[in-house]
Structure 1
Amino acid sequence: MRNFNTFTKLLILACTLFLVSCSAPKVEHYNDSNPEFDFKSFFNGKLKAYGVVQDYKGELTRKLVVEMNATWEGNRGVIEEDFVYDDGETQKRIWYVTLNNDNSLIGRADDVLGTATGKSAGSVFHWNYNVALPYDGSTLEVNFDDWMYLVTQSRLINRTSIVKFGVEVGEVTLVIEKI
């Protein structure tokens, strides 16, 4: 009887976790929100981001500043990101993005595994991609689930969940400003 009770509890826990993971809003939920997020207009020219990285417990692990420069030819853009962390580490990522007529976007970068896909609706942009993240002298494949919320035409808040095996292992929060 005791094993049945433990099994039942584990089954209920697994079902609850599954339901919670399925309950995240879709980007279309924000269709009527303002101001209207135009990816190409916001990510154009010079931008600067300030942020923090937190671990799975919510503890601050790093601070960072990111200098960005975005250019466009038609609906194809290049976004150069130069990261500087508070421990002195630097990183560069160059995004090659294509903006589609339906507000969807695809992107590629050297450390992104496969293609990033995203879409905007109202004042929100959401995209998802896998990254080979440097970790402890090696690399760890994780999923980045990015939600960008346009606050004003020149400022947005970006929250990224870092997920491994379906479990959030970290979070990045950025404030990105046009300069």
Structure 2
Amino acid sequence: MRTGLAVIGLGLLAGCVATPSFDDPQLTGNELELQEFFDGDLRAYGQFQDVLGQVRRQFVVEIAGDWDGETLTLVEDFTYADGATERRVWTLRQTGPETWEGTAPGVIGTAKGEERGDRFNWRYTIDLPIVRAGEPPTTQRVTFDDWMWQLTEDRLFNRAYMYRSGFYIGEVSIMFERLD
């Protein structure tokens, strides 16, 4: 009985997650241009926190970005605190003055994004690889509502809200830093 009530309580809590909006006031005069910010070498530091706020995983990402005038390619090499590694390669195309589409291995369909002022919102569903010590690798299908804010010319903060089967499961927070 208690377990059932706990599950219902978590379900209700998960439905109460407030996420950013383009209607929120812009706090800086920065104008994020995705293709400019991510063209070159970057390093990012991040972590995943579950629905209860517990940090479950930390990582560093080395990113090589290349904007060729039409396509922004991001080669992301993740190194997790437990020693695991992962590579994800994004291919993004600008579809309008403020809109983007992108693909990467594991992404279901096409990711869609919009720039506005100092921020960028990116939404997609992906089959994430799950690696646990002593177990064979699996995947977990999750949906991301990813928000980025350009803080300075060389720094960008990212908060990604994660959902599985429509239920909020946690957040990924990342700080990106341009190296060149």
TM-score by length of 2: 0.82
Q: Distance in 2 between matches of 1:39 and 1:157?
A: 13
Aligned to 1:38: 33
Aligned to 1:90: 85
Cα deviation for residue 65 of structure 1 reads 0.2
Identity %: 35
Where in structure 2 are the equivalents of 1:153-172 lying within 5 Å?
153-172=153-172
Aligned to 1:177: 177
Is contact 1:75-1:100 (8 Å) kept? no
Q: Distance in 2 between matches of 1:104 and 1:38?
A: 11
Aligned to 1:129: 124
Q: Distance in 2 between matches of 1:111 and 1:47?
A: 23
Q: Distance in 2 between matches of 1:162 and 1:156?
A: 19
Where structure 2 has 5 or more consecutive residues not aligned to the other structure, the ranges are 1-7
**SS across alignment from 1:146:** strand
**SS across alignment from 1:40:** helix
Q: Distance in 2 between matches of 1:24 and 1:146?
A: 10
Matched, 1:106 2:101: yes
Q: CA RMSD in A?
A: 2.1
Cα deviation for residue 25 of structure 1 reads 4.6
Is contact 1:27-1:120 (8 Å) kept? no
Cα deviation for residue 115 of structure 1 reads 0.5
Bigger helix fraction: 1
Q: Distance in 2 between matches of 1:32 and 1:65?
A: 27
Which is greater in Rg?
A: 1
Cα deviation for residue 75 of structure 1 reads 2.4
Equivalent residue letter for 1:105: W
Equivalent residue letter for 2:46: G
Q: 1:164 to 1:152 in 2, by over 3 A?
A: same
Matched, 1:80 2:80: no
Give the one of 36, 60, 64 matched to 1:65: 60
Where structure 1 has 5 or more consecutive residues not aligned to the other structure, the ranges are 1-9
Aligned to 2:151: 151
Residues 41-83 of structure 1, C-alpha deviations (whole Å, 9 max, x = no match): 1011000001111111110111100000111111211110000
Q: 1:24 to 1:162 in 2, by over 3 A?
A: closer
Where in structure 2 are the equivalents of 1:17-56 lying within 5 Å?
17=15, 24-27=19-22, 29=24, 33-56=28-51
Q: Distance in 2 between matches of 1:148 and 1:30?
A: 14
Of the structure 1 ranges 165-174 and 120-129, higher mean CA displacement relative to structure 2 is found in 165-174
TM-score by length of 1: 0.83
Q: 1:58 to 1:32 in 2, by over 3 A?
A: closer
Q: Distance in 2 between matches of 1:28 and 1:40?
A: 23
